[in-house]
Structures are given as C-alpha cells and as structure tokens.
Amino acid sequence: MKKTILALVPLLLYTSLLTAQSITGNLTQLAGQDIRLEGFNGLKTYPISSATIDEKGSFNMIYSKADYGVGYLISADDTPLFVILSGEDIELFGETLSDTETLKIIKGQENQWLEQYAQEHPKREQALSAWMYLEKMYTLDSLFSVQERPAQSIQTEKQRIKNEDAVFLAKLPKASYVSWLLPTRKLVSSVSTVAQYRTEEIPATIAAFRALDHTDQRLYKSGLFKDAMESHFWLIENSGRSLDSVFVEMRHSIDAMMVSLVKDEQKLNEVTGYLFDLLERHSLFQASEYLALKVLNQTSCTLDSDLANQLESYRAMKKGNTAPDIVFDKEIVAPGYKDTQQPRKLSDIKSNYTVVVFGASWCPKCTEELPKIANYYSKWKQQDIEVVYVSLDENEQQFKSFASIFPFVSVCDYQKWNSIAVKEYYVFATPTMFLLDNNRELILRLQSVEQMDAWVDWYLVQGNK
C-alpha cells in the first residue's frame, strides 16, 4: 500500500504540471528581485506563485485552472501588473512591471487584447471628453453656437470614437474571459467621468451596475468585486438627485443585487457585510437600514452570526420601537442626583428625552465624543434632556476614573460585550447612541454628537420660540 502511494505522488505532480499554465518573462531591471503572483477571491487576495528573477532578468511561475480570473504580478519595489489567468501560457518582456513603454506581452492572446485595450481606451476617453467640452461651447456659447458645421463634425467624431471602442469589444470571442472583463472594467472606471461630464449616461450606467450578477465567479475573481459596489453606489449618491431620490434609487439597486445573492449564502454574506459598512461610512443610513431589513427577511439564507447581530440592530432598534429598560444593578455615577434619589433603571429617569450612549474608556472615539456631550449637557438639560452613559469597561478603576468627570448619569456592570443592555440594544460598536422620548420610544439612532445638538436646536430651541 505504501509503495502504491509513493508511486502515485510523482504521477499526481506530473498531472498537475500538465494542467498548469506558465507565466514567464524577462524584466531586465529587476534581476535578483523576488516576484509573486496573487489572485482575487471576492474581497480578498491570495498567493498563487512566486519566483526569484535570475541575473539575466528571467523568471518562471505557474498557475492552475482554479485561479481562473485576474491575477497581478508584483515585485518587491514595483507597481503591480494585472494579467488574465484564463488557461493560456503568458510571456512578457520589458524592463520593469511599471514601465508600460517597454513592457510587452509577447505570448497569451487574451492578455495581448487586454494590453491593447489598456493602451487605446484611455486615449479614446480623453479625446471623447475633449470633444464633449467643445460640444458644450458650440451649443451653449453664443460666440460658437451659430457655427453649424463644426458642431456637426464634433458629433460625427464623438460617434466614431464610441463606435471604434464598441467594435473592438464586439470582436472579442464571446467565450473568452477578456470579453467579459473589459466592458466590466470600463463600467467601473467610468463613473467619475459619467457623473461629471456625461450626466445623460447616468441612468444607463446605473442600469448596467444593477445587471451585474454578484454571484458570477468571473466578477468574484476579477479584482472588481469591491470596486463594482463602491462605484455603483457612489454614482447614485453623486448623480445630482435629491437625497430622498438617492435613497429610492439605492433601494432599487439593493433589490436588484439580492435577486442572485439569495441563491449564494457565501457571497450574500460578503456583499452584505461590505456594502452595509460602505453605506454606514458614507452616512447613508436609510439605505443601510433598508439593506439590513431586506437581508434579515430572506428566510432561505443563513447569515454569519456577527453580521446577523449587526443587521438585527436595525430591526430591533428601529425608529418608533420601544427601547428595552436598562437596570442599573452594579455601578452608578450620578452627580446630579442624591444617593436616595439615584435612578435604579432607565425608566426611573423622568426627563422628556434621554440620550443613551454606549461607550468605553478604551474606545478612542468615545474619548472624543463623551467630553463633547459633557460640554453640551447643560444646554440639553435646559431642554429637559438627560444623558445616560452605559460603559463597556471591565475594570472598576478605569470606569470611575473616566466617568467621574462627566455631569450626567454613568453606569457599568463590567460585563463588556456580555452586558445585558449591550445585547438587548444590539450594540456592535462604540460609541453607539440613541435618542428616546419619555416613553422610551426610539426617536433617532444618533450618528454623532453634532447631530444630536442640531436636533436640539431645530426641534426644541427653535420650537419653543
């Protein structure tokens, strides 16, 4: 049996070499340097192969069918070169990876098409933008608008450039990876130009993003998985619409993405986690809430536990819901109350409004935000607003040292993320802030201290005048 296994090992190695493809090249200025090949899996990269460039500048590495998609070559002190790993042998020649003037793909048809398009397409885009600038002059400026022949010539040249680009893409073999990759890369890279100079193309560009299938392995392995999401929602955000209309469009886009994603739990989790964070970072909270509720209502899918808890906070702690009561059963620091009057739970506080803040002394952002709240506290108190700081500290001395300088109520049970209040309020990051009315009904999920102070000025101070 042992002899049989040993005999199979060379055979398996030989078979794997037969099914592997090579990337060879000569980079004259990188002699002696290490070079590596990495691939893409969704939001992550992974190593495929590596080699040391010999004294003559030559190197050789391999990749397999499992690496089908886009990879990138990178040396120790160089910029990456993107290559298509479509099952063909690739050979390149030049001085360095970054010197496109000397670098040539001398073997590998799909990579030669990629190289050609990478050289020609930017020039077409620059020319097209220039003609569009002139077109506006000859259309809107009275000094030029009377000149019909130049205006017509501009239209003709614009169309010629677009046709030339379209013809190149149309001639690519339909079964090739490059025939999918180039239009997708063009779509992703076009958003800034479309938003600024070609606004008439915005609806079609957004429609093209919605048509992307985020479960498509070609996209997953392309290095565009993240960029496609970012470009898609950036274009909607910067499309010149009203904020309400932006959120409507984002809901449509989320709906379109979910059609395919609900059939692939792994990619559903990856896309939802990244997109939710993206929308939150851009303060697009209506869209992130819609995404959270949309995904949570997909009963056929299983979510990662951390992601599920993060999304669940939007369902459980939605505006209009009643926030859970919080029992102050451990440490309380309440400078504004006598010992006999100290509240023992959140519902004991009888102010018209309460700001509940979850934070900790070890949280850098909390050390910025909580002193701000302390500065606003006396102004807010005049409008019958109380503040309750719920600490996630585990150390009594650290909690008391941090909380003792604040004029509002501070409580801590030293259970950190295992605190009952933390779990009931679905807190997954610090600081997290909520504004409640006197019935503990959720009014706002606050994103900053400044937002709360603006709410005070608009709804309370101005409203009382």
- Pairing mode of beta strands 353-359, 385-391: parallel
8 Å CB contact between 222 and 256:
no
pLDDT value for 15: 43
Calculate mean pLDDT across residues 347-354.
92
Output the CATH code of domain 331-461. Answer: 3.40.30.10
Q: How many helices, marked H, and strands, marked E, lie in the chain?
A: 16, 14
Calculate mean pLDDT across residues 179-208.
94
Cα separation of 88 and 67, whole Å?
Answer: 12
Start-end of H helices in 97-176: 109-140, 148-170
Residue 312: which pLDDT band, with cuts at 50, 70 and 90? Answer: confident
Calculate mean pLDDT across residues 170-197.
94
Residue 301: which pLDDT band, with cuts at 50, 70 and 90? Answer: low
8 Å CB contact between 77 and 57:
no
Residue 393: which pLDDT band, with cuts at 50, 70 and 90? Answer: very high
Residues 6+ apart with CB under 8 A from 333: 400, 403, 404, 406, 409, 410, 411
pLDDT value for 128: 87
Calculate mean pLDDT across residues 287-314.
78
- Give pLDDT tens digits for 50-98: 999 999 999 999 999 999 999 999 998 778 999 999 999 999 999 998 8
Instruction: Name 358's bridge partners.
Output: 390, 432
Q: Measured at the alpha carbon of residue 204, what is the angle toward residues 200 and 207, in degrees to the nearest 5?
A: 145
User: Which one has a higher pLDDT value, 159 or 4?
Assistant: 159
Torsion of CA 285, 289, 294, 298, to 10 degrees: 130
Residue 148: which pLDDT band, with cuts at 50, 70 and 90? Answer: confident
Cα separation of 461 and 465, whole Å?
Answer: 7
pLDDT value for 43: 95
- Residue found by looking up tokens 């560009």 in the block: 205
Residues 6+ apart with CB under 8 A from 93: 25, 26, 103, 104, 106
- Residue found by looking up tokens 């906070």 in the block: 313
Q: Which CATH class name applies to 20-107? A: mainly beta
8 Å CB contact between 222 and 40:
yes
Largest pairwise CA distance in the chain: 93
Given a cut of 80, is residue 283 above it in pLDDT? no
CB burial readout 211-238, b (16+ within 10 A) else e: ebbbbbeebbbbbbbbbbbbbbbebbbe
Tell me the average pLDDT of the chain.
89
Given a cut of 70, is residue 205 above it in pLDDT? yes
Given a cut of 60, is residue 11 above it in pLDDT? no
Residue in 323, 293, 286, 319 with CA at minimum distance from that of residue 308 = 293
Given a cut of 80, is residue 7 above it in pLDDT? no
Given a cut of 70, is residue 240 above it in pLDDT? yes
Calculate mean pLDDT across residues 208-220.
97
pLDDT value for 9: 45
Task: Tell me the whole-structure pTM to 2 decimals.
Answer: 0.74
pLDDT value for 243: 87
Calculate mean pLDDT across residues 421-427.
90
Calculate mean pLDDT across residues 304-333.
83
pLDDT value for 268: 92
Q: Where are the domains of the chain?
A: 20-107, 108-171, 194-316, 331-461
8 Å CB contact between 441 and 346:
no
H/E stretch holding 245 reads helix 243-261
Residue in 293, 216, 213, 196 with CA at minimum distance from that of residue 259 = 213
pLDDT value for 284: 86
H/E stretch holding 457 reads none
Q: What share of the chain is helix, strand, coil (3-state, %, to 5)?
A: 50, 20, 30
Cα separation of 207 and 227, whole Å?
Answer: 16
8 Å CB contact between 456 and 375:
no
Residue 461: which pLDDT band, with cuts at 50, 70 and 90? Answer: confident
- Give pLDDT tens digits for 17-37: 446 899 999 999 999 999 999
Calculate mean pLDDT across residues 413-428.
91
